[in-house]
Amino acid sequence: MSTPNETRVEPASSGHVFEGGFADPVMDSQAVFRRVMNALAEPGTIADLAGFVSPPTPLSQATAAILLTLADYDTPVWFAKPENNDDAIGWMSFHTGAPRTADVFRASFAVLEKMSPVEAWSSFLIGTSDYPDRSTTLLLPVESLVGGEPLKLTGPGIETQTVIAPVGLPEGFVAVMAENRAAYPLGLDVLLVCGGEAIGLPRTTRIEEA
Amino acid sequence: MTLPEYNFAYLDEQTKRMIRRAILKGIAIPGYQVPFASREMPMPYGWGTGGVQVTAAILGPDDVLKVIDQGADDTTNAVSIRAFFAKTANVATTTKTADATVIQTRHRIPEAPLSAGQVIVYQVPIPEPLRFLEPRETETRVMHGLEEYGLIHVKLYEDIAQHGHIATTYAYPVKVEDRYVMDPSPIPKFDNPKMNGSPALQLFGAGREKRIYALPPFTNVVSLDFEDHPFEVQKFKQPCALCNATGVYLDEVVTDDRGGRMYVCSDTDHCETRREEGHHGPGLPISGAQTVKEDAA
């Protein structure tokens, strides 16, 4: 299964790689999953994923909790800046067994950087018309999930409309998400993460500047 | 020596992760059937292995589980699955729709409206609505991909040509968010309108066929029909013989070998709740009603 570009990293000497996983893997992953499930089923709601894990920097608690809940040897994970993520990749590999992939087109999950350039997102998997589920889920860190310019969300999971106001979205985010929506049922699913919180933006959600 | 114990909610963690990922994809693509690596469960296919796997993957220690089989809390399938999770996950169980956080169902949606925060898990035998029209999975995949649903309209049209009306009464196909045609599982078409815009999250598991699909809350679900033959649900001439309820789905119960029969609520919790509230149907003797009340108290 492993390709030359897929590596299970031998954790470096840093002790932090081994510490800070789920205290109770069964119950903690269930609790995190239900919150992530609700976040994607009700786009715009903020899921509280804090306090489950203590990951090495620069991983946020939310990103780390999502990876520990959903990633394993079946799901290659792509990091935007692997050179800055030695400890993070080692930590993820140790706790999940998930391979880090350098091939963007093999990624089940992509751990992005803040202000990730959206032009590069076209390389991620959006599925095929037969199997639209074979797509990449993006974990996009932002400065804050509240206090920014309001964005109006509509679509499945939202009764009429809801508003989010994250700070620190990449340039062109609304436009690229509109293209993503237009490709439905193909597309990327995005989780905005900040600290211990996350907002789910599945491909069905229409995002407009309010 | 203590015997080895099962993991919480029976399934191992890797299986739960795989199912959880399929559920999230299903939520992101409402009505699309996500393939998953269905496991052997300690019950035969056809007894709800898909629903059981979905329930096992989402269930937590604080959940309150209700299981119904054709609306009833007290039939073999419902009792067994409820006992299975009471034993393997040690969760609280209930028969009250309003008290449940997770409801696993075979072929009914409860009469009491579902609320936000509840999850309903459907057991699905044949998830592919096009399967009896096109047996090849490779072809039905392409048909869904191309949104090529003419065949299913022909099927409904043939109903009209032969019977004068759309004769499909259960597993009545729906279109989700104007994109995917979906099998609502073999619920009576009476329940189809409850799927549309439901505040609850709806998950579907087909164990033998290895498919999971989902409807997030407030998803647009339309039953297929024609302008001159609009979708209609079943209507019943008489109220429930036990609780006098109207506008509910009734089961026919044969009461003797001389043609005697009565029609009673298929949703046992709804019927019991109404009788506890003092409703009496024409088929319920007054003394019988008192006995029921005492039993329930």
Select the more confidently predicted residue: A195 or A210.
A195
With respect to residue A10, please indicate whether it lies within any of the assigned structural domains. Answer: no
Least trusted range by pLDDT, from A13-17, B48-52, B215-219: A13-17
pLDDT at B183 over 80: yes
- Looking at residue A55, what DSSP letter applies? P
How do strand B102-106 and strand B64-69 relate by DSSP bridges? parallel
User: What DSSP string describes B182-202?
Assistant: E---S-BGGGHHHHTT-SSEE
The pLDDT value given to residue B297: 34
Q: What is the mean pLDDT of residues B115-129?
A: 97
CA pair distance A75, A29, nearest whole angstrom: 16
Average pLDDT over residues B25-32: 98
Q: What average pLDDT does the structure give for chain A?
A: 94
For the stretch B254-289, pLDDT in tens is: 999 999 999 999 999 999 999 999 999 998 776 544
Q: How many CB atoms lie within 10 A of CB A196?
A: 18
DSSP state of B15: H
Chain A residue numbers with beta carbons less than 8 Å from the beta carbon of B218 are 156-159
Q: Do B8 and A42 touch (CB under 8 A)?
A: no
pLDDT above 70 covers a percentage of chain B that reads 95
Q: Is the dihedral of CA A44, A48, A52, A54 positive or negative?
A: positive
A16 within some domain: no
A14: confidence class by pLDDT, cuts 50, 70, 90: low
- A81 touching B (Cβ < 8 Å): no
What integer is the mean pLDDT of A190-202?
98
Average pLDDT for A89-109: 96
pLDDT score for B6? 86
**Does residue B265 have an active-site annotation?**
yes
Instruction: Flag if B23 and A31 touch (Cβ within 8 Å).
Output: no
Please answer yes or no on whether A132 and B29 come within 8 Å at the CB atom: yes
Quick check: is A113 in a domain?
A: yes
Report the CATH number that the domain containing residue A92 is assigned in CATH: 3.40.50.11310
pLDDT band at B201 (very low <50, low <70, confident <90, very high): very high
The pTM of the full predicted model, rounded to 2 decimals, is: 0.94
pLDDT of residue B295: 40
Q: In what order do the strands lie in the sheet with B221-223?
A: B180-182, B174-176, B221-223
Q: Which domains does chain B have, with CATH numbers?
A: 13-136+170-223 (3.40.50.11310), 235-282 (2.30.170)
Residue A120: give the domain boundaries. Answer: 25-209
| Nearest beta carbon to residue A41 from set B18, B20, B216 | B216
CB B271 within 8 A of CB B242: yes
Residue B284 has what pLDDT? 78
In 3D space, the residue among B287, B291, B249, B297 whose CA is nearest the CA of residue B271 turns out to be B249
User: Residue A29 and residue B21: Cβ atoms within 8 Å?
Assistant: no
Q: What percent of chain A has pLDDT over 70?
A: 93
Interface test with A, best of B15, B25, B146 (most A CBs within 10 A): B25
Mean pLDDT along residues A3-21: 69
Structure tokens at B283: 């088929």
Q: What is the mean pLDDT of chain B?
A: 93
- Indicate the length of chain B as a whole number: 297
Residue A62, min C-alpha distance to chain B (Å): 17
Give domain status of residue A14, yes or no: no
- Whether residue A17 is contained in a domain is answered as no
% of chain B beyond a pLDDT of 90: 91
Cβ <8 Å between A30 and B17: no
Q: Does residue A4 belong to any structural domain of this protein?
A: no
Identify whether A7 is part of a domain. no
Q: Which residue has the tokens 């990730």?
A: A116
pLDDT for the residue B2? 66
**Contact criterion met (CB below 8 Å) for A123 and B185:** no
Q: Where are the beta strands (DSSP E) in chain A?
A: 6-7, 46-48, 77-79, 100-101, 109-111, 137-141, 151-154, 162-164, 189-194, 197-201, 206-209
Chain segment B59-73, per-residue pLDDT in tens: 999 999 999 999 999
For the record, the structure tokens of B104 come out as 């696993």
pLDDT tens string A138-185:
999 999 999 999 999 999 999 999 999 999 999 999 999 999 999 999
Domain count of the fold of chain A: 1
Active site residue B145: no
Find out whether B65 and B102 touch, Cβ atoms under 8 Å. yes
Q: What is the mean pLDDT of residues B79-99?
A: 96
For residues B147-164, average pLDDT: 95
Question: Cα(A176)–Cα(B159) distance, rounded to whole angstroms?
Answer: 45
pLDDT tens for each residue of B98-110: 999 999 999 999 9
ipTM of the complex: 0.95
Cα B49–chain centre separation: 13
Identify the pLDDT of residue A16. Answer: 78
Residue B131 reports pLDDT greater than 80: yes
Nearest CA in chain A to B139: A130
Tokens for A83?
């050179």
* Mean pLDDT value of segment B223-251: 95
